[in-house]
Amino acid sequence: MTKTLAAQLAERNQANRARIPQAALRTLDDATATLVDSGRADTSLAVGDAMPDFTLPDHTGNDVSLSSLLARGPVVVSFYRGGWCPYCSLELRALQTRLEEITAAGATLVAISPQTPDDSLSTAERLELRFPVLSDVGNVVADGLGLVFTIPEPLREVYQEFGIDLPAANGDHSFRLPIPATYVLGRDGTVLWRHVDPDYTRRAEPDDVLAALRAAAAGQPR
């Protein structure tokens, strides 16, 4: 039986925590707890809100607008931190395995991160993704949805120790990232379902995304 994304994430987290030095773990945990306590996730775009239109470049260099996607039907939008994040990679792979089902439900799937287009291309190629991977350089779109936070200085040092070069990946020195978030949008751009969690080790389960799409198609509330 195929493992759920939650199970895969838990296994990865357990393995990571076993090898990361305790001082770095404390820094990671403190930063996550601070973000959870900030309530940022609770004030971001909510069910019933309309996602503003946007136009972003995809990993092949083409501009993609939300309005053009909505013209085809419902849209699933997944905000992730970057290809350097192993939890994001697991999430993107899990979505790719369910892409045919998402498409069969009449929806389009896109993923968005603050990475540069070149890094988005590297992520799409490495993970063999067959859906658009968009670059929200500067976190302009994510910021408008209330998802963006600034990485504290102690955590920046930990990332550097891990070899994570955010300025290079994102093309700026802001050290800002989006909270991982997944939205299911109706044809009019209204949020029908969402998963927004400031704990980066937890992500939307593809089964739940599909359930939301199917419920929307059947005219059922979620």
Supply the pLDDT for residue 169.
Answer: 96
Supply the pLDDT for residue 87.
Answer: 98
Q: Using CA atoms, how far apart are residues 164 and 177, in angstroms rounded to an integer?
A: 13
CA atoms 184, 9, 114, 116: torsion sign = negative
Q: Give the pLDDT confidence of 78-88 residue by residue, as tens digits.
A: 999 999 999 99
Supply the pLDDT for residue 217.
Answer: 86
Average pLDDT across the chain, whole number: 96
Supply the pLDDT for residue 1.
Answer: 63
Has residue 210 been placed in a domain? Answer: yes
Supply the pLDDT for residue 2.
Answer: 80
Has residue 187 been placed in a domain? Answer: yes
List active site positions: 88
Q: Helix/strand/coil (H, E, C) string of the chain?
A: CCCCHHHHHHHHHHHHHHHCCHHHHHHHHHHHHHHHHCCHHHHCCCCCCECCCCEEEECCCCEEEHHHHHCCCCEEEEECCCCCCHHHHHHHHHHHHCHHHHHHCCCEEEEEECCCHHHHHHHHHHHCCCCCEEECHHHHHHHHCCCEEECCHHHHHHHHHCCCCHHHHHCCCCCEEECCEEEEECCCCEEEEEEECCCCCCCCCHHHHHHHHHHHHCCCCC
CA dihedral 17, 171, 133, 44 (to 10 degrees): 70
Q: Using CA atoms, how far apart are residues 110 and 79, in angstroms rounded to an integer?
A: 9
pTM as predicted: 0.95
The answer to whether 215 touches 222, Cβ cutoff 8 Å, is yes
Has residue 164 been placed in a domain? Answer: yes
Query: At 12, phi and psi to the nearest 5?
Result: -65, -40
Residue 207, CB-side half-sphere exposure with 13 Å CA sphere = 5
Has residue 222 been placed in a domain? Answer: no
Domain of residue 153, residue span: 5-217
**Residue 87's domain is classified under what CATH number?**
3.40.30.10
Supply the pLDDT for residue 108.
Answer: 98
Has residue 32 been placed in a domain? Answer: yes
Supply the pLDDT for residue 106.
Answer: 95
116, pLDDT greater than 90: yes
Q: Give the pLDDT confidence of 29-75 residue by residue, as tens digits.
A: 999 999 999 999 999 999 999 999 999 999 999 999 999 999 999 99
Q: Domain tally for the chain?
A: 1
